[in-house]
Amino acid sequence: MGVVNVTPDSFSDGGERFDTQRAVEAGLQQVEQGALVVDVGGESTRPGAAAVSEAEESRRTLPVVAALARAGAIVSIDSRNPAVVEEALEAGARIVNDVGGLRLPSMRQVAAAAGAPVVIMHMQGEPRTMQLEPRYDDVVAEVGAYLRHAARVALEEGVPSVMLDPGLGFGKGVAHNLELLRHLGALTADAAPVLVGASRKSTIKALSGEADPRKRLPGTLVLHLRAAAAGAAMLRVHDVAEHAQALSVWRALEAAEVTA
Ligand code: HH2
């Protein structure tokens, strides 16, 4: 899954694609480079980010969603707002990416009515305050229980299928993120496929000292290959070509080990 943030303030690519034409070109390039899905978002959810109005989020995302869908891309809409999601699905998006964890009944209704699969992401708290003091007794058990419950409710209410995402960095400290990555299998107990997004996140800064998010590809690849090895079905990434190469090599290595 390639990331296209149509925002001025996203933590790692803010401003780069804050223009419909550039955002569409970036999405099409990601498809050429091997992305199966292009994830279009119009609100930064980085810690402390300012909220965006519904009208502004729609204005940013809908033209990009429509153009990418017209060009044949499978588009997911990265939004916590059911009204924006509904419009994006009408404009051609086929998947809902809800970092709000599908808490809102109206979000479930919108996805079910459109027959759209949903990525359910776990978040503790709200983006504005979520990194102040995230706390868990057992992060794997708690995040897993949330995701499995949310999946059950969604499927009962007519959402056709779900993917589950531990929400790295969303109300989680470095140790929490690493614990979740190390126990991805236990997290969902095979309830649904898992999606992981560690791309350029601040855990990599904490572990390596790299302050510039655009220079965090090496750390991203390590975390994402570990996630793939633990069974992640999809990775949400800013650098598609580099991940395609890494995954090709990793898959060949895995196959060689199985047949050796
Ligand atoms: N992370 C971000 C945004 N959306 N969606 C899912 N399912 N999983 C994630 O880990 C995830 C997500 C944050 O990254 P980014 O979009 O690059 O930044 P920003 O929120 O600042 O736009």
Instruction: Write the pLDDT tens digit of every residue in 51-99.
Output: 899 999 999 999 999 999 999 999 999 999 999 999 999 999 999 999 9
* Cβ–Cβ under 8 Å, residues 163 and 194: yes
Average pLDDT, the chain: 94
**pLDDT tens-digit map of 117-145:** 999 999 997 777 777 788 899 999 999 99
Q: Which CATH superfamily is domain 2-259 in?
A: Dihydropteroate synthase-like (3.20.20.20)
Q: Report the pLDDT averaged over residues 171-183.
A: 96
What's the CA-to-centroid distance between 255 and ligand 1, angstroms? 31
User: Does pTM surpass 0.75?
Assistant: yes
Q: Report the pLDDT averaged over residues 5-10.
A: 89
State the Cα–Cα distance between residues 144 and 180, nearest whole angstrom. Answer: 9
State the Cα–Cα distance between residues 187 and 75, nearest whole angstrom. Answer: 26
12 within ligand 1 shell (Cβ under 6 A): yes
With the most atoms of ligand 1 within 8 angstroms of its CB, the residue from 1, 4, 10, 217 to mutate is 10
Active site residues: 201, 236
State the Cα–Cα distance between residues 61 and 88, nearest whole angstrom. Answer: 8
Indicate whether 260 pLDDT > 70. no
State the Cα–Cα distance between residues 20 and 195, nearest whole angstrom. Answer: 27
